Amino acid sequence: MRDDEPLIWHEATNSYIVSRYEDVERVFKDKKGEFSTENYDWQIEPVHGRTILQLSGREHAVRRALVAPAFRGSDLRDKFLPVIERNSRELIDRFRTTGSVDLVTDYASRFPVNVIADMLGLDKSDYDRFHGWYTAVIAFLGNLSGDQEVIRAGERTRVEFAEYMLPIIRERREAPGDDLLSVLCTAEVDGVRMSDEDIKAFCSLLLAAGGETTDKAIAAIFANLLRHPDQLAAVRADRELISRAFAETLRYTPPVHMIMRQSTTEVTLSGGTIPAGSTVTCLIGAANRDGNRYRDPDSFDIFREDLAATNAFSAAADHLAFALGRHFCVGALLAKAEVEIGVGQLLDAMPDIRLADGFDPAEHGVFTRGPQSLPVRFTPISG
């Protein structure tokens, strides 16, 4: 597709599909105002409510200014890094003496959800409910066949999550604490504060987007490193390389494979012209392996010189996994912190980690993608 048909009309998604790096980058950066996020009105609003992803202009800038400080700088470092470290250690303590674990079911799928629940000051014993809700949301996003039960489950999720969250939000407004939910309830920029519905929708988005993507990123990092023992050994010896392994995983096997936009005007890309008002599906996984952008793109190489780890978690990233431009992922630095702490602690607990005999990791998923299982073996260590 990249070589011969970089712009395709795709009936199943009712959208134009673009797969070259230069085209996806242009759509995301959108310097001329040619693309909007109006597609989220039908793509995610039925399950989340109206979120920051759908906003534009000053409304988007103010809303982003309300939520962004919690995910960077001193708030992230002082308030939430200890939360990440504690939640990772609690999960690892359950299996560190066993000699075997499924890194997806026993760690990666639980870790980011526990972290987000803990950050928000929610009860982690409700993990199964959180996981069920975000699983229903992700299924809704990838429901290309229009399965009615998947649609109904997604719509039920919005109702159930609202019934769960709105009373808690009202309580935090009355008696704020030092958790993220309290921060969101009291944040104010230029006289603007978030409504209860705004906060609920953001928390729903945070659980689904933060849980699903970090889950798949951690699993993918280990799948990639276990397939490349020399690079695993290098990361084990120098933990500063974890960020490089994460950056290369975001390029090579990104957790999110598709992001949609809506054209606001007629747009000509390298493969042809997109009519105004069309949905455009950007293939992140394909663009991140564009040979015109990366040397030997189908090889996993944490030492590659055409991908900078120093800016891989900022809006200046030279991969596309977090999108780019004004809608660059607000939680990128949180994801980086979770991955660096989690991978580091796992390597400490399992210094000779290896795949279970005969197991070959396989990716699954449509919009989001990653290993569903990753059984590993290791020699337990004391301490």
Beta bridge partners of 268: 273
Terminal C-alpha separation, the chain: 52
Distance CA 283, CA 280 (A): 10
Q: Are 159 and 152 in contact (CB under 8 A)?
A: no
- State the virtual CA torsion across 35, 16, 202, 183 in degrees, nearest 10: -50
Dump pLDDT digits (tens) for 49-82. Answer: 888 887 777 777 877 787 877 777 777 778 889 9
Q: Are 290 and 319 in contact (CB under 8 A)?
A: no
| Average pLDDT of the residues of the chain | 92
CA dist 263 to 44, 52, 269, 273, 320, Å? Answer: 18, 19, 12, 11, 19
Domain spans of the chain, in order of start: 7-377
Burial bucket for residue 344 (CB in 10 Å: 0-12, 13-18, 19+): middle
Total number of residues shown for the chain: 383
Structure tokens at 61: 């800038």
| pLDDT attached to residue 259 | 94
- State the virtual CA torsion across 199, 111, 70, 78 in degrees, nearest 10: 140
Position 383 confidence tier, pLDDT thresholds 50, 70, 90:
low
Dump pLDDT digits (tens) for 103-159. Answer: 999 999 999 999 999 999 999 889 889 988 988 998 898 888 889 999 999 999 999
Dump pLDDT digits (tens) for 30-48. Answer: 999 999 999 888 888 899 9
Structure tokens at 214: 């970090």
Q: How many CB atoms lie within 10 A of CB 33?
A: 10
Burial bucket for residue 296 (CB in 10 Å: 0-12, 13-18, 19+): exposed
Dump pLDDT digits (tens) for 211-233. Answer: 889 999 999 999 999 999 999 99
Sort strands 15-18 and 7-10 into parallel, antiparallel or unpaired.
antiparallel
Distance CA 246, CA 251 (A): 9
Distance CA 366, CA 50 (A): 23
Dump pLDDT digits (tens) for 246-303. Answer: 999 999 999 999 999 999 999 999 989 999 999 999 999 999 999 999 999 999 999 9
Which amino acid does the sequence have at 163? E
- Reply yes or no on domain 7-377 having CATH 1.10.630.10: yes
What average pLDDT does this structure show over 152-172? 95
